[in-house]
């Protein structure tokens, strides 16, 4: 692990620290020489509250105890990395803004009212939010937009995603990013053209619609296909995630990039300059 005591490095709080992404983030920050882990937050009543995060994860002590007091944690941080759940993320946005800490949001399943609730916080602090923090997926988003712009509505667009059995939201945040990119490329509004969840006698496919299908099973980290299907040919753009470290690396990059930016809402395209 890298030396974590250099006060010049941005101090980072990880929320949802016991989760699949939380633990990956703790490992990534602890190993980084560009940031330091200053606190870890979990929900009240969680068995890890008060324990050293490194030991709770089954390894060596990291000198950071898990807390259920986000405001106190955020007050000593320059950034908060948050992969939790929509209601928690809205609450954390207000607290991070109060502390003027950069809020990196990886949480998916955010409904329009959750997203709207981030606006007041973004007037005072930097928010970086993306349904997928990996370089590969963000490149795929750009490619999807370009391919959709080059093809007409004779090419049916379908987004197919697969994730582990514990995932609670569908379609995935990434699938929605890809759908938005396809809609933008085609010059249409995704809310009007999305076809989510077919079942029964659905009738023939609506020309120009953008379909979504979700598979859940086992330990799949995350797989996304954007299929462009026409008469006699198909194009498939694919991203396969095999390691959650790709998301944690992207989130850490966003937390560092956010230092010194003006308050507002940003995404990984801004961070990666894509």
Binding site as annotated, residues: 16-21, 106-108, 130-133, 164, 173-174
Residues belonging to the binding site for (S)-2,3,4,5-tetrahydrodipicolinate are 164, 173-174
167 is catalytic: yes
Helix (H) or strand (E) holding 156: strand 156-163
Contact between 28 and ligand NAI per CB under 6 A: no
For residues 19 and 5, what is the distance between their CA atoms, to the nearest angstrom? 25
Query: If DSSP codes are grouped into helix, strand and coil, which group holds residue 152?
Result: coil
Q: Could you tell me if 92 and 120 are in contact, meaning their C-beta atoms sit under 8 angstroms apart? A: no
The stretch among 71-79, 116-124, 168-176, 178-186 that binds ligand LZUJQKHR (CB under 6 A) is: 168-176
- Residue 114 CB, nearest approach to ligand LZUJQKHR (Å): 14
Marked catalytic residue, from 103, 163, 224, 239: 163
- Max CA distance (Å), the chain: 62
Contact between 181 and ligand NAI per CB under 6 A: no
Burial grade of 47 (CB within 10 A; 0-12, 13-18, 19 or more): exposed
The option from ligand NAI, ligand LZUJQKHR, none interacting with 163 (CB < 5 to 8 A, set by class) reads ligand LZUJQKHR
- Residue with the shortest CB distance to ligand LZUJQKHR: 222
Q: Could you tell me if 22 and 14 are in contact, meaning their C-beta atoms sit under 8 angstroms apart? A: yes
163 is catalytic: yes
For residues 243 and 111, what is the distance between their CA atoms, to the nearest angstrom? 27
In which residue are the tokens 């010049």 written?
Answer: 8
Where along the sequence are the contacts to ligand LZUJQKHR (CB under 6 A)? Answer: 108, 131-132, 163, 167, 172-174, 222, 241
């Amino acid at each position: 692990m890298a030396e974590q005591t250099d006060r010049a490095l941005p101090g980072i709080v990880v929320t949802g620290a016991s989760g699949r992404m939380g633990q990956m983030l703790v490992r990534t920050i602890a190993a980084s020489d560009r940031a330091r882990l200053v606190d870890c937050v979990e929900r009240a009543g969680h068995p890890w509250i008060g324990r050293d995060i490194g030991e709770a994860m089954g390894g060596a002590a990291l000198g950071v105890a898990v807390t259920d007091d986000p405001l106190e944690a955020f007050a000593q941080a320059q950034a908060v990395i948050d992969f939790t759940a929509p209601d928690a993320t809205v609450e954390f946005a207000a607290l991070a803004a109060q502390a003027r800490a950069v809020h990196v949001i990886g949480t998916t399943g955010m409904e329009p009212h959750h997203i709207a609730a981030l606006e007041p916080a973004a007037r005072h602090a930097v928010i970086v939010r993306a349904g997928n923090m990996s370089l590969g997926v963000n490149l795929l988003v750009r490619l999807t937009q370009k391919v959709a712009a080059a093809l007409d509505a004779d090419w049916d667009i379908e987004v197919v995603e697969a994730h582990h059995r514990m995932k609670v939201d569908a379609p995935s945040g990434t699938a929605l990013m890809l759908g938005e990119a396809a809609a933008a490329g085609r010059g249409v509004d995704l809310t009007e053209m999305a076809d989510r969840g077919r079942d029964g006698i659905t009738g023939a496919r609506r020309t120009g619609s953008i379909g979504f299908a979700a598979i859940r099973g086992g330990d799949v980290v995350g797989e996304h296909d954007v299929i462009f299907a026409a008469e006699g040919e198909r194009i498939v753009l694919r991203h396969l995630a095999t390691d959650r470290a790709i998301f944690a690396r992207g989130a850490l990059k966003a937390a560092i990039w956010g230092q010194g930016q003006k308050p507002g809402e940003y995404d990984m395209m801004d961070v990666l300059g894509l």
